[in-house]
């Protein structure tokens, strides 16, 4: 059973949250929470990019969880413009930490809208010590709350992102790289669009390299 991905339900603020969970055999393994893209545009925890991120954490021996926000799949409740979704993410992180109280590191990750929620969660939870944001949309959402950003991480985006003009990403890069004591890497993938269509192997390689480098420090 140890190597299986489990289907679970997590108690959330609006009822139960549907999730997928992989538990590493090692008690002190790092943990990671992976968050889905926008529910109103068809986003779920089974989105291809979310599954790629989840599997990369799993391959690096993390205990990892991906979760459907309220109103998605079998999760109770209904869409709440980000506030409820942030509360859902916090409940999922609580659950993940209770299951893995000896964890050596705590990571949070998200794709598109999920990266916004991940970064908001990061601001509220000092135990999170790394993040991965894939295809954030600083043109659609205000990321100015990241001042200062409390922890190091990586932002991976497609240079052919049809939803986010490049200027917004470089603006975010400028703001985060000016902050002392943390290092946020920005990694633009030249042929990729917002969804990393047909280029997910490059995304996986990029994530894998970053995860290996940052877990080696612990």
Mean of the pLDDT values across residues 45-72? 98
Q: Where are the domains of the chain?
A: 6-215
8 Å CB contact between 67 and 142: no
Task: Say what the pLDDT of residue 1 is.
Answer: 40
| Between 77 and 148, the higher pLDDT residue | 77
pLDDT exceeds cutoff 80 at 2: no
Model pLDDT for residues 82-115, shown as the tens digit of each residue: 999 999 999 999 999 999 999 999 999 999 999 9
CATH superfamily of 6-215: Alpha/Beta hydrolase fold, catalytic domain (3.40.50.1820)
Mean of the pLDDT values across residues 15-39? 97
Closest residue by Cα to residue 215 from 31, 20, 5, 24: 31
Question: Which residues contact residue 41 at a Cβ distance below 8 angstroms, ignoring those fewer than 6 apart?
Answer: none
Q: What is the DSSP letter of 42?
A: T
- Burial (CB < 10 A; 0-12, 13-18, 19+), residue 137, is buried
Task: Say what the pLDDT of residue 209 is.
Answer: 98
Task: Say what the pLDDT of residue 217 is.
Answer: 78
Model pLDDT for residues 141-161, shown as the tens digit of each residue: 999 999 889 999 999 999 999
């Amino acid at each position: 059973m140890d190597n299986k991905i489990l289907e679970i339900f997590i108690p959330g603020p609006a009822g139960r949250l549907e999730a997928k969970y992989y538990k590493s055999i090692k008690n002190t393994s790092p943990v990671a929470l992976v968050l889905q893209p926008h529910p109103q545009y068809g986003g779920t925890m089974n989105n291809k990019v979310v599954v790629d991120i989840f599997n990369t954490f799993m391959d690096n021996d993390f205990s990892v969880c991906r979760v459907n926000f309220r109103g998605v799949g079998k999760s109770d409740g209904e869409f709440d413009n980000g506030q409820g979704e942030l509360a859902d993410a916090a409940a999922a992180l609580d659950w993940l930490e209770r299951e893995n109280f000896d964890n050596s590191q705590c990571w949070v990750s998200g794709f598109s809208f999920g990266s916004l929620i991940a970064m908001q969660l990061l601001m509220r939870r000092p135990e999170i010590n790394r993040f991965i944001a894939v295809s954030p949309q600083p043109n659609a959402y205000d990321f100015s709350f990241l001042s200062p950003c409390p922890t190091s991480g990586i932002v991976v985006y497609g240079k052919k992102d049809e939803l986010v003009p490049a200027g917004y990403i470089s603006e975010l890069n400028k703001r985060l790289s000016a902050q002392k004591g943390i290092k946020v890497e920005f990694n633009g993938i030249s042929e990729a669009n917002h969804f990393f269509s047909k280029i997910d192997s490059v995304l996986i390689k990029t994530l894998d390299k970053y995860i290996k480098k940052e877990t080696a420090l612990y």
